Chain A
Amino acid sequence: MSATDEITRARAAGDPGGIVAPPAAWRQVDATVGAHRDAGAGHRCLELHVPRTFARPEPGQFVQLLLAPPAPVLLPRPMSVASVSASAGGLTLGFLYAAVGAGTQALAALSTGAVVHVLGPLGRGFPLDVAGTPVLVAGGRGVAPLLFAAEAFARRARRCELLFGARDAAHLVALAGATARLESAGGRMHLATDDGSRGLAGTVVDLLDRIAPRLRAPLVIHACGPHAMLRAVARWGLRHETPAFLAMESVMACGTGVCRGCPLPRSESARTELARRRDRIPSLYGSPEFAMCCTDGPVFAAPDLDWERIH
């Protein structure tokens, strides 16, 4: 049995990253903006203080961040959690985002003390208990939740290799801070840029090809970044029979599974498996054709999605 079969089987049995979403523990709370600073290349680091009623997010989970009225956008914005620490009265959550649209630009203008609404924690994070040397593969700002994962691995006495890629050196977002966080978690950083301005000249998958043979097998990959990169990483994992878990993105309305607005096509094997087990999947709304990014993900195992149909 291959490693990916094993993962598929473990997950089908309801284990890490299983098919059935856990019962909802999310809440919508008022959050206060803490530190909020520029992170380079159009990105910003944001800290939010949330009260004790907010459950502690796991690496790979996300929140729905809603601006207080009057706001230029209607819907909340899904944001992956980049760090969690205890603070007076609750938790401090960290985020790394790019101010690219009307919503994130309005968010970027908020200063310390401003109030936003946060709904979460949402979705299923990285399955940190899958055995193997953790190889974290990051594209651009996708590095943020993986640093959070590296710290969680460190608490489990596991050291990570972080492969960080971007189009150029400037888009290796917040690199200095990332390196410091990774080193304090006992991890090692490896870099790649498309234009060769920093690290290996090539993609992060080229970097994976180069680094993987030197690492102690078996490996387990956790990745976050643009879908094109995640597709390449997923295929790498399938080709090398290495379990790979990919943090996906989608446009969303609710983030809680209700609106059915964020479907991702499931693979043939996942559909077959779900069709066989349909009686035991009360969370499934329709046919097994689609997973919902918000509640079935956002982290998916490589064999579960149809990468041909993911853009």
Chain B
Amino acid sequence: MDLAVRIGSLALRNPVVTASGTFGYGDEYAHVVDLATIGAVITKTVTLEPRAGNQPARIAETAGGMLNSIGLENVGLERFRREKLPKLAALDATVIASLGGETPAELAALLEALGREKAIGAFELNFSCPNVSKGGAIYWTDARRLERTLRQLKPLTRAPLIAKLSPDVTSIAELARACEQGGADAITAVNTFVGMALDLDAAGHRLNRSTGGLSGPAIKPLALARCHEAARAVRIPVLGSGGIMSGRDALEFIAVGATAVQVGTASFIRPRAAAEVVDGMRAFLAARGIRRIAEWRGRLMEPPATPARRAPAARRAKPRNGRGASRTRCDGSGRSRARR
């Protein structure tokens, strides 16, 4: 069965990748998961300077999900290069490095340092951490800032750039389009949703910073809708993410237009979750006689509200024939995205 997909110039053996912050630097789980069986490993977000992360409590379980407020704890660029990169290079896995910055200049500095590293197949730009006071999801909800930043970053590496977006925005479609116009090679939809949990008996918050990012099965319907919205808005690949626990969950995201999927919280519960998702997808598709993942992609996608490709000047123009024009994108299989 052909599960191979492309994220820009990066070929993945299958569409299942591990979400940033849920799989360490790959080696933590390598003794229980054959990394060659999953599409790629996305590393914990690295920032220019080391970060201690937030005060405890950082985790609160809620109905069908969990809130986290880790706060981008990481070793920083210098030790990432010295200690983590050699390990990543030794993994039998495609590696996508997640980068976090409080400003466009910080992201540029990270890409200048890492952009030519052969061990890194692509970069995911974390435009959506809900748990930091500077450079988090709110800072990056400005479409023009996103577009400008991507324009600035694009020349710094030949590796694909993936923009990871927050779901807590008025229009993820607008942000996804801004990233595409700036030169992003793909979109990740979505990061965690901002949530809150209280301990009523103690009359207090369950997380130190009061809010955190909600993940797990509880967010899957919300994430699926955001993924669908993003996929309709752009022609570049979308990586669907949010509450994926099984192969069937993954195929829902692909059915609404995702090219690849990210498995996150599931790995905390079952470290082999990503590999199990691949197996589950394979079994589902095989049972239906589907031989290529591209045949499934977009199968349950609603037509785009506006034509997918248009000049900026035409942005507000209504489609001449919304439904008809979109048929070519929604008739089921590979379509334009697969040809890119």
Contact = CB atoms under 8 A, between A and B. Distances in A.
Contact of B268 (A26, A258, A287): A258
Given A251-B57, A290-B53, A74 B64 contact: yes
A256 B57 contact: no
Interface stretch (A7-15, A125-133, A145-153, A278-286): A278-286
Contacts of A258: 22-24, 28-29, 267-268
B52 interface: yes
A252 interface: yes
Given A28-B270, A286-B52, A259 B75 contact: no
B51 interface: yes
A306 B310 CA distance: 59
Interface residues of A, number: 34
A2 B113 CA distance: 46
Contacts of A257: 24, 28
A45 interface: no
Interface in B39-68: 44, 50-53, 55-61, 64-66, 68
Given A119-B271, A253-B66, A258-B22, A290 B52 contact: yes
Most chain B CB neighbours (cut-off 10 Å) among A28, A73, A260: A260
B212 to A, nearest CB: 10
A24 interface: yes
B73 A260 contact: yes
Interface in B268-302: 268-272
Nearest to A295: B28
B70 interface: yes
Interface in B90-145: none
Interface of B is mostly: loop
Interface of A is mostly: loop
A253 B214 CA distance: 13
Interface in A242-265: 250-254, 256-265
A199 interface: no
Contact of B70 (A26, A119, A251, A259): A259
Nearest to B57: A251
Contact of B75 (A28, A252, A286, A289): A286
Contacts of A262: 56, 58-59
A76 interface: yes
A310 to B, nearest CB: 9
A240 interface: no
B332 interface: no
A117 B68 CA distance: 23
A26 B33 CA distance: 12
A299 interface: no
B31 A24 contact: yes
Interface in A97-138: 117, 119
A258 B30 CA distance: 12
Contacts of B24: 257-258
A74 B32 contact: no
Contacts of B29: 256, 258
A188 interface: no
A24 B75 CA distance: 20
Contacts of A290: 52-53, 56, 73
Contacts of B195: none
A86 interface: no
A52 interface: no
Nearest to B72: A286
Given A262-B56, A286-B74, A253 B268 contact: yes
B217 interface: yes
A260 B271 contact: no
Contacts of B28: 24, 256-258
Contacts of A287: 50-52
A252 B84 CA distance: 24
Contact of A261 (B32, B55, B59, B83): B59
A114 to B, nearest CB: 18
A75 interface: yes
A264 B56 CA distance: 7
Contact of B44 (A73, A285, A289): A285
A260 to B, nearest CB: 5
B240 interface: no
A37 interface: no
A19 B234 CA distance: 48
Contacts of A282: 83
A96 interface: no
Contact of B269 (A26, A76, A265): A76
Contacts of A261: 58-59, 68, 70
B21 interface: yes
A252 B59 contact: yes
A28 B275 CA distance: 14
Most chain B CB neighbours (cut-off 10 Å) among A117, A259, A265: A259
Interface in B243-275: 265, 267-272
A66 interface: yes
A285 B66 contact: no
A278 B79 CA distance: 10
Interface string B74-85: 110001000100
12 contacts: A26-B32, A74-B217, A119-B271, A251-B57, A251-B59, A253-B66, A254-B267, A257-B28, A260-B21, A260-B53, A285-B73, A286-B73
The 10 A-B pairs at the shortest CB distance, nearest first, are namely A261-B59, A287-B52, A286-B73, A254-B268, A289-B52, A258-B24, A253-B268, A261-B58, A260-B73, A286-B52
